[in-house]
Amino acid sequence: MSLRVRLTLWNTLLLAFILGLFGVLVWAVLQFTLIRQVDETLDRTVDQLLKTSVTSINSRSSEIMIELPFDAIESPGLYMQLFNIERELIGNSMTISDLETPMDATSLRGSELERNFRYVTLFGNRLRVLTTPVVVNGTHIGYLQVASSLKQIDVAQSAVLLLMSGGGFVAILLSIIFSSLTVQRALRPLETVTSTALQITRADDLSMRIDHQGSYDDEIGRLVTSFNDVLGRLERLFYSQKRFLTDISHELRTPLTAIRGNVDLLRRIGEGDPESLDAIQSETERLTRLAGDLLTLAEAETGSLPMAFQKVELDTLLLDVYRDARVLAGTKVAVKLGEEDQAMVWGDPDRIKQVLLNLISNAIKYTPHGGTVTLGLKNMKDWGRVTVTDTGDGIPIEEIPHIFDRFYRVDKSRTRRSRAGGSGLGLSIVKWLVEAHEGRIDVTSQPNKGSTFTVWLPIMSAEQHKQQNTVEKRSIRLPLEEPVPVN
Ligand code: ADP
């Protein structure tokens, strides 16, 4: 059953229920007030009859005789019967002269010294009958039954019933038509949502969005906004996956081709060719680095990259990194330590170290033999500023905004040719890790003069100082890339 039919049905059922309840109430109130009026009239008639009655005593039997002035108050629709103590009919109004039995035999049979009202049906007519004992000077001498026809009330009630059921029927009919129309109108945007969703599925085009004509503040508007947001996110995810796959296949192909070429060469030339062995080794190292970077990215993208935040003494960590850097640089470039302040930050020491080593290995990679790489740390009050400066290739100014993108390399031939060529993932991971520490990274560079990468990390707050020796576990998710169409 469609939502439209269901909503219409519920509306109509509710209206029918309210109308029914209202009808029963009106009916009951009407019945109650009209019958009360009839009962009061019957009561008054009895009082009047008894007040104007004429009593006499039979001298022989000393029986009390009573005469009631039926003719005086007789009117159509009013019936009166008088019975003696043996419940035998001894008088009646002309309106009921044909009847020799009591109008209400049941009440007469059981009647004690109190008035009693009952409904009876006589000659197809509904009557309200009042039975009352007749007492003269304290002696119970008989019974009186006064009845009123309910014909007019019944007619009035039938008319009300007809009016209410007719009106109710029309109201329900109108309600079905109007609710069906309004529900259809209200649900129309949902149909647009559905058809757009279907179109997106059929055309496989995640760039489509739902065009909503109405307000964005109501339920439908909010649904459309959420749906469009979901589409946006899906689109970004989809493009980022697609781009990732394309890039990764390129990245894997290059070292694998190099390895295969060198293995072929080894086969031809003989086992001992040191150049081929070196090439194989460096390509394998590159593949290993790529696999490591990919793992970090994959963990970050699924939000499962664990980080253990704690107090980190940046100066100590920098010394540590400096030692590693010297090993990494070997004899190629000189690694120096510049200014070294003390600075305390709240972060994951392993990840901060990963950031700095990544920057240093780039600096070493892109600095020719004999160059210098300098590390520095300055406490800038709210920020700890770490700098990695080299005297290397530098980066053209127009390339700087892109170097933090995934798989971006400035001069592709330059890095690929180089044995140390990277994957283009390093800086994107660095930037993301720095941002996960609520810090930022920027770069200044001059081609052929060198580059300086500056990492800003927030100095530990007073609150973080309080939790000195605790380790705060966090799982951080990588933000999705904006869609960039892949060719
Ligand atoms: P890769 O693994 O290729 O080094 P990165 O993401 O680490 O990838 O760096 C992206 C690009 O930025 C590199 O290809 C390189 O061209 C440029 N780059 C990074 N660091 C430096 C640097 N210190 N000097 C010159 N160019 C750099």
pLDDT means per 10 residues, the chain with 487 residues, are 88 93 91 94 92 82 80 86 90 88 88 82 91 87 92 90 92 92 85 84 83 82 88 82 77 82 82 79 84 79 80 95 92 94 94 94 93 96 96 92 83 48 81 93 94 96 76 73 49
The number of the ligand 1 atom at minimal distance from the alpha carbon of 404 is 6
Is residue 426 within 6 Å of ligand 1 at its C-beta? yes
Span from the CA of 232 to the centroid of ligand 1 (angstroms): 30
Contacts of 413 (CB under 8 A, 6+ apart): none
Is residue 432 within 6 Å of ligand 1 at its C-beta? no
Q: Which of 294, 389, 399, 403 to mutate to test the pocket of ligand 1 (most atoms within 8 A of CB)?
A: 403
Is residue 104 within 6 Å of ligand 1 at its C-beta? no
Is residue 424 within 6 Å of ligand 1 at its C-beta? yes
pLDDT of residue 340: 92
The number of the ligand 1 atom at minimal distance from the alpha carbon of 363 is 23
Atom 14 (ligand 1) nearest CA? 409
Atom 20 (ligand 1) nearest CA? 362
Span from the CA of 451 to the centroid of ligand 1 (angstroms): 10
Residue 99 CA to residue 21 CA, distance in Å, equals 41
Is residue 403 within 6 Å of ligand 1 at its C-beta? yes
Q: Which of 357, 427, 445 to mutate to test the pocket of ligand 1 (most atoms within 8 A of CB)?
A: 427
Is residue 451 within 6 Å of ligand 1 at its C-beta? yes
Span from the CA of 365 to the centroid of ligand 1 (angstroms): 8
pLDDT of residue 485: 46
Atom 11 (ligand 1) nearest CA? 409
User: What pLDDT, in 10s, does the model give residues 165-177?
Assistant: 999 999 999 999 9
Judge if pTM exceeds 0.75: no
Atom 13 (ligand 1) nearest CA? 409
Going along the chain from its start, the domains and CATH numbers come out as 3-155 (3.30.450), 204-302 (1.10.287.130), 306-476 (3.30.565.10)
Residue 224 CA to residue 168 CA, distance in Å, equals 39
pLDDT of residue 16: 93
pLDDT of residue 419: 45
The pLDDT mean for the chain works out to 86
Is residue 362 within 6 Å of ligand 1 at its C-beta? yes
pLDDT of residue 361: 92
Instruction: State residue 65 phi and psi, 5-degree precision.
Output: -105, 145
Span from the CA of 362 to the centroid of ligand 1 (angstroms): 6
Span from the CA of 382 to the centroid of ligand 1 (angstroms): 29
Q: Which of 360, 366, 397, 452 to mutate to test the pocket of ligand 1 (most atoms within 8 A of CB)?
A: 366
Span from the CA of 407 to the centroid of ligand 1 (angstroms): 10
The number of the ligand 1 atom at minimal distance from the alpha carbon of 293 is 2
pLDDT of residue 415: 47
Span from the CA of 409 to the centroid of ligand 1 (angstroms): 6
pLDDT of residue 256: 86
